[in-house]
Amino acid sequence: MTIDTAGKVIAAQPIDNFEKLDVAPAMEAVRAWTFRPQTFEGRPAQVVGRVSIAYRRRPIPPNRTIAFPAAAPRDFRITLQRTACYGQCPDYRVTVHGDGRVEFDSGEYHSPGTAAQAHLDTIGNNVLLPGRHLARVDPAGVARLLDRFRDAHFFGLRDEYTYPATDNPTQVLTVQVGKTSKTVTDYIGIEAGMPQAVRDLEDAVDAVAGTARWVDGNLETLAELDAARFNYHTSVAATLTAAAASRLDGYRPAGDIEKLLIALVGRGVPLGARIGNRTLAAILVQAAAQAGSDRLFDALSARDALALVSAQDLTGAFNRLGCSPAIARALVKAGADPRRPGTEGSALTSLLGMAPRCEKQPERKLATARALVELGVPLEARSSIGWTALMGCNSPALAQLLLAHGANPNARDVEGTTALLSTEDDRVALLLLRAGADPRARDASGTVRQQAVKGHMPATLAWLDAHQIP
């Protein structure tokens, strides 16, 4: 789509429609959007961009003629089961009773004979505090939860919503009111016509039961540990803390995990304890660096954790850096070698290609990149796929920074791809061309012109025309 200097969409066309769907609704929606006006080199700019629009099957409404059963107050229970997947999906079952009792269980055999069980056996249950846990919550909150099931006409839903794909988790909701029960199975159900209300109910059960304290970890986890007089100075505490650290920058980072980790460090977990071939301090320092968590890093520094981390592990943490110029400088001061890339690349290639949390913090990302350049990170170091930091760059500000410090615009990977052939940003392509990027470069995907046409890059095409580049 083309966006004018006022942020209005003035042209739009589909470029990929693999499933041959009706594009009219998407085009109508896109043309009604307004974007933040863009600038380039200090002047208003008309830009071209791409968006992906997902189509979903129209929800199948529940049968509203099926009445929700009546029962005595508190004579009900609601169970949610989540299964393992090919990834980091937590596997557990939780039941909330009408009187406020909560039963949580991450047992080993919730789904015998299924793909979910195979995933559980090979990957684990991805629950921070596995096992069986009991708790109590406000019965009034549970009653309100039951009202949500009633409003969603739960007993009028289909028994199963299954989409034909693999390796995803299954969610199973069961409501028993008196002697009457209803179970709904959700396997990518939204794509199979399941109403969004069912997915909302799944999340609501988790919220009322407070499963995050066992599954992900938060300050309620700490409160339970304190109540149980947990000994924070043991190897068990170190193992628990390391498991929590793996969630800080994982596939589904827990919202309050940073607070829990800071509290555990404050409780005195043994930072020198060895977890595998590393100290707990090394694991936590890397987690803080990768997540760009200044607060956790400061808590570790206050306990002299960096003194317990080898130079090799400090360098490893540096090469996996997220968005934090302060952590970058502190790691180098402590002994990290900024000029020694790891097997997956340098701190710069990690920041520009492997740090998704930075995408919502462009100014902080730029400040971190500037710090890395000043610290001497080699600009031509290669990532695990053979790209330099400039290759695949889609930020004009980052491209200008790298080019100003001597990054080679004509570096190639083994397939001949250059920065010019790998960027999807028209402004970056223009900056690269001005900096001497080879306009005649080509790789398996075609020439610069062919890729500019495919990527709808008018400024690049105009430059090629002006310089008579075929």
Mean pLDDT to the nearest integer, 262-273? 97
> Do 85 and 191 have their domain in common?
yes
pLDDT, position 360: 81
Mean pLDDT to the nearest integer, 271-282? 96
Residue 147, in any domain of the structure: yes
- Of 252-256, 263-267, 280-284, give the lowest mean pLDDT range: 252-256
> Do 165 and 112 have their domain in common?
yes
pLDDT, position 266: 97
> Do 18 and 124 have their domain in common?
no
Q: What is the pLDDT of residues 166-204, one digit of tens each?
A: 989 999 999 999 999 999 999 999 999 999 999 999 999
Does the pLDDT value for residue 335 go beyond 90? yes
pLDDT, position 72: 87
SS (H, E, C) the chain: CEECCCCEEEECCCCCCCCCCCCHHHHHHHHCCECCCEEECCEEECEECCCCCCCCCCCCCCCCCCCCCCCCCCCEEEEEEECCCCCCCCCEEEEEECCCEEEEECCCCCCCCCHHHHHHHHHCCCCCCCCEEEEECCHHHHHHHHHHHHHCCHHHCCCEEECCCCCCCCEEEEEEECCEEEEEEEECHHHHCCCHHHHHHHHHHHHHHCCHHHHCCCHHHHHHHHHCCCCCCCHHHHHHHHHHHCCCCCCCCCCCHHHHHHHHHHHCCCCCCEECCEEHHHHHHHHHHHHCCHHHHHHHHHCCHHHHCCHHHHHHHHHCCCCCHHHHHHHHHHCCCCCCCECCECHHHHHHHCCHHHHHCHHHHHHHHHHHHHCCCCCCCCCCCCCCCCCCCCCHHHHHHHHHCCCCCCCCCCCCCCHHHHCCCHHHHHHHHHCCCCCCCEECCEEHHHHHHHCCCHHHHHHHHHCCCC
For 390, the token pair is 């400039």
Residue 122, in any domain of the structure: yes
Please enumerate in sequence order all residues whose Cβ is within 8 A of that of 392, keeping only pairs 6 or more positions apart, or say none: 352, 353, 419, 422, 423
User: Cα 462–467–470 angle (5° rounding)?
Assistant: 80
pLDDT, position 297: 98
> Do 31 and 82 have their domain in common?
no
Residue 365, in any domain of the structure: no
pLDDT, position 109: 56
Q: What is the pLDDT of residues 393-446, one digit of tens each?
A: 999 999 999 999 999 999 999 999 999 999 999 999 999 999 999 999 999 999
Does the pLDDT value for residue 115 go beyond 60? no
pLDDT band at 119 (very low <50, low <70, confident <90, very high): very low
Residue 135 domain boundaries: 76-215
Does the pLDDT value for residue 66 go beyond 80? yes
Residue 114, in any domain of the structure: yes
> Do 210 and 83 have their domain in common?
yes
pLDDT, position 302: 97
Mean pLDDT to the nearest integer, 263-270? 97
Q: What is the mean pLDDT of the chain?
A: 91
Mean pLDDT to the nearest integer, 274-298? 96
Question: Among all chains, which residue has been given the structure tokens 């799944």?
Answer: 202
pLDDT, position 113: 54
Residue 160, in any domain of the structure: yes
Q: What percent of the chain has pLDDT over 70?
A: 94
Q: Report how many domains make up the chain.
A: 3
> Do 111 and 7 have their domain in common?
no
Strand partners, 171: 82, 186
Does the pLDDT value for residue 122 go beyond 70? no
Residue 141, in any domain of the structure: yes
> Do 188 and 126 have their domain in common?
yes
> Do 39 and 94 have their domain in common?
no
Last residue within a domain, chosen from 48, 66, 86: 48
> Do 81 and 6 have their domain in common?
no
> Do 108 and 180 have their domain in common?
yes
pLDDT band at 242 (very low <50, low <70, confident <90, very high): very high
Does the pLDDT value for residue 116 go beyond 80? no
Mean pLDDT to the nearest integer, 297-323? 96
Does the pLDDT value for residue 84 go beyond 70? yes
> Do 116 and 22 have their domain in common?
no
pLDDT, position 123: 47
Highest mean pLDDT among 35-49, 101-115, 118-132, 446-460: 446-460
